[in-house]
Amino acid sequence: MPHHHPDGPDRPTRRRFLQSAALTASAAALPAAYAAEQPAASAPAQVPPPVPARPVRLHINGKEYALSLEPRVTLLDALREVVGLTGAKKGCDHGQCGACTVLSDGRRINACLTLAVMQEGRHITTIEGLADGETLHPMQAAFVARDALQCGFCTPGQICSAVGMLAEARAGAASTVQPPPAALPQSLSDAEIRERMSGNICRCGAYQNIVAAVRDATGAMRRS
């Protein structure tokens, strides 16, 4: 007698049921979607005209760049795709992960959330511009010393964010941990560092060493 596997060809399975239900649902939705895509013969198609590229001057890591960009291009895409600085990473492109963090006039920003044209006249610093020649920025050195990374994808954003964060703390910016007047950098607790760095997600979960690196760099930058 042939052996029938419980999921054999004769037996309807939950998976097959779901597959056929999905097919039926999409077939039913098709006419409506199709109709929506077909404009009435008399109505002209509403296609917005293309916006031509325009000259954009960006100041990045101490250099001037004369670019030609469509106004819709984000700073992140301009950096990565046009200028060729790929240190800032595109994690989410929606302001949720911090991998694209750069400094604009010393303030940390998400490069995916700003248009390149909006940064004309500002000084952009990316991870490529933090070191002083061969000498690493103290924050970079602290990340290396503390081994504060695993895959490294979030690291340029973490480092730029930490540099901007210390400047904010020095300037007295409040956090939810420490109400104003905010702590000076030398007294940032680990809870402060975690809170102030909470816009930078690390999918590897290297937070313990990241916090240690920021703590070390805070001390090193105070002494220097």
Nearer to ligand FES, 101 or 218 (CB): 101
**Sign of the alpha-carbon torsion through 121, 122, 128, 134:** positive
* By the rule CB under 6 A, 98 interacts with ligand FES: yes
Tell me how many residues contact ligand FES (CB under 6 A): 23
Minimum CB distance to ligand FES, residue 146 (Å)? 12
In the list 61, 83, 90, 139, the residue contacting ligand FES (rule: CB under 6 A) is 90
Residues 102-131 that bind ligand FES (CB under 6 A): 110, 112
Nearer to ligand FES, 22 or 204 (CB): 204
* By the rule CB under 6 A, 208 interacts with ligand FES: no
Which span (29-37, 62-70, 90-98, 190-198) binds ligand FES, by CB under 6 A? 90-98
Q: Give, rounded to a whole angstrom, the gap between the first and last alpha carbons of the chain.
A: 84
Tokens of 149: 């990374």
Which span (19-27, 58-66, 165-173, 196-204) binds ligand FES, by CB under 6 A? 196-204
Phi–psi pair at 210, nearest 5 degrees: -65, -45
Which span (122-130, 134-142, 146-154, 179-187) binds ligand FES, by CB under 6 A? 146-154
In the list 82, 86, 95, 118, the residue contacting ligand FES (rule: CB under 6 A) is 95
Nearer to ligand FES, 159 or 182 (CB): 159
Tokens of 143: 């990340």
In the list 81, 150, 177, 194, the residue contacting ligand FES (rule: CB under 6 A) is 150
Phi–psi pair at 96, nearest 5 degrees: -110, -15
Tokens of 11: 């037996």
* By the rule CB under 6 A, 219 interacts with ligand FES: no
Helix 155-170 crosses helix 207-223 at what angle (to 10 degrees)?
A: 50
What is the rounded CA–CA span in Å between residue 73 and residue 55? 12
What is the rounded CA–CA span in Å between residue 196 and residue 177? 9
What is the rounded CA–CA span in Å between residue 216 and residue 142? 6
What is the rounded CA–CA span in Å between residue 103 and residue 111? 9
User: Which residues pair with residue 125 across a beta bridge?
Assistant: 103
3-class state of residue 47 by DSSP? coil
* By the rule CB under 6 A, 211 interacts with ligand FES: no
* By the rule CB under 6 A, 80 interacts with ligand FES: no
Residue ranges that bind ligand FES, judged by CB under 6 A: 90-93, 95-100, 110, 112, 149-155, 202-204, 206
